Structure 1
């Protein structure tokens, strides 16, 4: 029996090549039982004509399936479903009954209901995406990243790709961080003091789990990174939200019972305030007085294009009480999910054991690809390109904001990728965002960054990392018009 060509159609939303889509269609048909052993497939010419694609594309797809024993070829007769193809399960799934579990009682702890907002996955389809933390495809070095990924898949790196590191990491990546990345922040660390994580958020979670209990107190900035507050709330520790000013966290406001201080001194999240050197020393002295630890989230230090970044808090620490969090996800691309923790060996040992019990280690292929991308100089070239683009976009956005009389509540002293904005009193920026959404404008309301009830609703964040420079003036004009 021949399989009708009409059963094949292309999905315009498919992420991948035409060849891989054809392979997937046929493989799924065999695995689901729709295509049975011995059935003949449409000829390559007929299927190519039906789908409106090149015949060589279909031929290559059939050849790959032939190599994997999904198909076999019979002389001039064509391609057939192989007798050795996987057999679909020969059973009928039972009818699902009514769920009789009372999940309101069965769930011991709840992790939903936090402050982390849902960001639109289709942000790139908006004409004015003033959205934070996404990758600009015009700036990303896709060609060299692909080459590094292919190199990491090579025979020479077979062990790095396939090995179970258990609680360890790719030594090449760790070595690069120790010898190149950290010294740029004034930090000297041994490999035993470095742990690779699945991004900065995973690093913050590991730090919170290791350092905090229900009896301990964590001091956090207010406003702050909303995911951090969710993490600390889930840890059930005592929280002390501390208001920030134009220089960031105020050391004198830290309560005497504080055990761990979480701070973003280079670019305060979300106000972008940069903590000056005098206050950094004061913060270290306050932590010393309290015998408290400091978790420093040093995100966006690479985006200092107006001036050289201030030294990391960790570089000024002589007591070993600062735990440093770094990330490549913000600077390379957010889907990379690759960061690192730096701290005293005793702390890293516990964080490593906790990570191993949850996820072992980040995938070896990702680590080795990143190691190549960093060590071959592609990362530094990417950062230079991003800095230059952000410099131009920031200048254009500053002019547009000034022209329309919008109020800036905070901007990074050394650069960054966003402005922290304040709307006139009485404006709810969540409603403003909903109105602008229909005009193709994306902004980020600021309410979720604040702690407790009665959170301010007039703040919002405008990022310029993912919007073309020529669209910035018109987008800001639309925001100003909506505010009026």
Structure 2
């Protein structure tokens, strides 16, 4: 009896995707097998016919089929091409009607304490990478990144010598990465520490979350800047803290405005989020003086200090902390790429020990393979070369943004004095930047409205953040012009 042949028309490719065509073909075939659309013994369409249907080279299909033979999904048949392997070793997904929808939202409303989906946050359009003018903050320009070097570090990290690190289930940090933080990263910020005072985290946000979780085990009165990074303020509220905000000025958080009775202050002194203001040394000393006198601790989020192409960044607040009152959060994600999600928390040894135990209960530890890859990238000098390239390019882009804004009614309301990757911009009074951002999408322009950074319902509506790390230099002038035309 002749075996049924699967029609070529059941397979499709996503031409908009940047993923290799051969990979997409393999995945499409595997999906058809696992879902039982392609049954054991069924003949695959010929490589010639499938290649013609998909519009790819015949060799692309042949190589995909051969890889699936090696994996056991297909069998090569003499004079018959390829067929689905007839083996019980391949699990197949059950096929049936979708279950009926059951509405039990009332039950879940009783259980959930808060609707996090409605929280105030910065939201990027999902397709922002396809926009011609993406003034998006915190994203890496792939044209600058050293891909070849990263691939080489990945290759080294997956080698036999490093396998034990990746296979371990212990809640430990990569010693090579910790050593680089202690010997290179922290000294650049004026900080001296030992390995017991450092914890690797899943980005700086995870570091701050761990600090918040530890601090809110007892009732906590906390202060955040206004405006500030919205996730920090909302994480404090979510964990039960009594949160007060203190309005910042051109020098950041005014320490003398911190109310009495506060137990923790969350601050971005070297590069305020989102205005970029730098807290001067006198204010930092005053903040530490008040922390000692009033017995509160400080959580310092120190990001983007590497992007110092105008003048050297100020030393971190923790660098002048003589009484161990500062928890310091740093990150590799901003300088390397945000999807890396690697950061670190630095603080007193007993606090880091508690944070390590808490992290262990949440996620054990950040992936060992990523830690070791990043460690090689850092230790072998690729990171320093990348930072050099980024500083040179971002200096040009910042200059282009400032010059373009000078030709409009838009005002630079805040910027990091050492450089950075964004500007805090004020539109004319009465402008609703939420509406402006939505309207600009029709022009292919992406900006970040300022409303999520402010506390309360009566926040200013005229501010927005203009990032320049992910927009090509030649697009900046036209992009700013389009923004001005919509104002």
TM-score (norm 2): 0.95
- Tell me how far apart the structure 1 counterparts of residues 56 and 117 of structure 2 sit (CA, whole Å): 46
Offset of residue 278 of structure 1: 1.5
Aligned to 2:37: 34
Aligned to 2:287: 283
- Tell me how far apart the structure 2 counterparts of residues 132 and 89 of structure 1 sit (CA, whole Å): 41
User: Do the aligned partners of 2:307 and 2:419 also contact (CA within 8 Å) in 1?
Assistant: yes
The 5 Å alignment of 1:73-472 reads 73-84=76-87, 86-89=90-93, 92=96, 95-100=99-104, 102=106, 103-165=108-170, 167-213=171-217, 215-472=219-476
- Tell me how far apart the structure 2 counterparts of residues 14 and 471 of structure 1 sit (CA, whole Å): 23
- Tell me how far apart the structure 2 counterparts of residues 159 and 54 of structure 1 sit (CA, whole Å): 41
User: Do the aligned partners of 2:146 and 2:386 also contact (CA within 8 Å) in 1?
Assistant: yes
Q: What is the RMSD of the two structures over their aligned residues, measured on CA atoms? A: 1.7
1:13/1:472 CA distance change after superposition, 3 Å: closer
Offset of residue 105 of structure 1: 1.6
Offset of residue 322 of structure 1: 0.7
**Structure 2: 5+ residue stretches without partners:** none
User: Do the aligned partners of 1:218 and 1:239 also contact (CA within 8 Å) in 2?
Assistant: yes
Offset of residue 96 of structure 1: 2.2
Encode CA deviations 1:181-211: one digit per residue, 9 max, x unaligned.
1111111111111111111111111110101
User: Do the aligned partners of 2:246 and 2:258 also contact (CA within 8 Å) in 1?
Assistant: yes
Report the more deviating stretch, 346-355 or 86-95. Answer: 86-95
Find the residue that maps to 1:303 and give its secondary structure: coil
Aligned to 1:475: 479
Offset of residue 14 of structure 1: 4.1
Offset of residue 307 of structure 1: 0.6
User: Do the aligned partners of 2:35 and 2:94 also contact (CA within 8 Å) in 1?
Assistant: no
Report the more deviating stretch, 450-459 or 108-117. Answer: 108-117
Offset of residue 94 of structure 1: 6.9
Encode CA deviations 1:64-87: one digit per residue, 9 max, x unaligned.
211111112233332221122524
**Structure 1: 5+ residue stretches without partners:** none
User: Do the aligned partners of 1:10 and 1:51 also contact (CA within 8 Å) in 2?
Assistant: yes
User: Do the aligned partners of 2:246 and 2:257 also contact (CA within 8 Å) in 1?
Assistant: yes
Encode CA deviations 1:322-367: one digit per residue, 9 max, x unaligned.
1100011111111111111011111111111111111111111111
Offset of residue 97 of structure 1: 4.9
Point out 4+ residue stretches in structure 1 off by more than 6 angstroms: none
Encode CA deviations 1:453-483: one digit per residue, 9 max, x unaligned.
2111111111211112222222222222222
Offset of residue 98 of structure 1: 2.7
- Tell me how far apart the structure 1 counterparts of residues 387 and 319 of structure 2 sit (CA, whole Å): 22
Offset of residue 90 of structure 1: 5.5
- Tell me how far apart the structure 2 counterparts of residues 129 and 320 of structure 1 sit (CA, whole Å): 41
Find the residue that maps to 1:341 and give its secondary structure: strand
- Tell me how far apart the structure 2 counterparts of residues 37 and 440 of structure 1 sit (CA, whole Å): 48
- Tell me how far apart the structure 1 counterparts of residues 11 and 240 of structure 2 sit (CA, whole Å): 53
Match of 1:12 among 5, 15, 20: 15
Aligned residues: 482
User: Do the aligned partners of 2:222 and 2:243 also contact (CA within 8 Å) in 1?
Assistant: yes
1:482/1:87 CA distance change after superposition, 3 Å: closer
Aligned to 2:70: 67
Offset of residue 289 of structure 1: 0.8
Find the residue that maps to 2:443 and give its secondary structure: coil
User: Do the aligned partners of 1:116 and 1:230 also contact (CA within 8 Å) in 2?
Assistant: no
TM-score (norm 1): 0.96
Find the residue that maps to 2:412 and give its secondary structure: strand
Encode CA deviations 1:138-158: one digit per residue, 9 max, x unaligned.
211122112211221222221
Offset of residue 109 of structure 1: 4.2
1:47/1:398 CA distance change after superposition, 3 Å: same
1:438/1:6 CA distance change after superposition, 3 Å: closer
Find the residue that maps to 1:27 and give its secondary structure: helix
Encode CA deviations 1:353-398: one digit per residue, 9 max, x unaligned.
1111111111111111111111111111111111111111111221
Find the residue that maps to 1:134 and give its secondary structure: coil
- Tell me how far apart the structure 1 counterparts of residues 91 and 415 of structure 2 sit (CA, whole Å): 61
- Tell me how far apart the structure 1 counterparts of residues 341 and 277 of structure 2 sit (CA, whole Å): 25
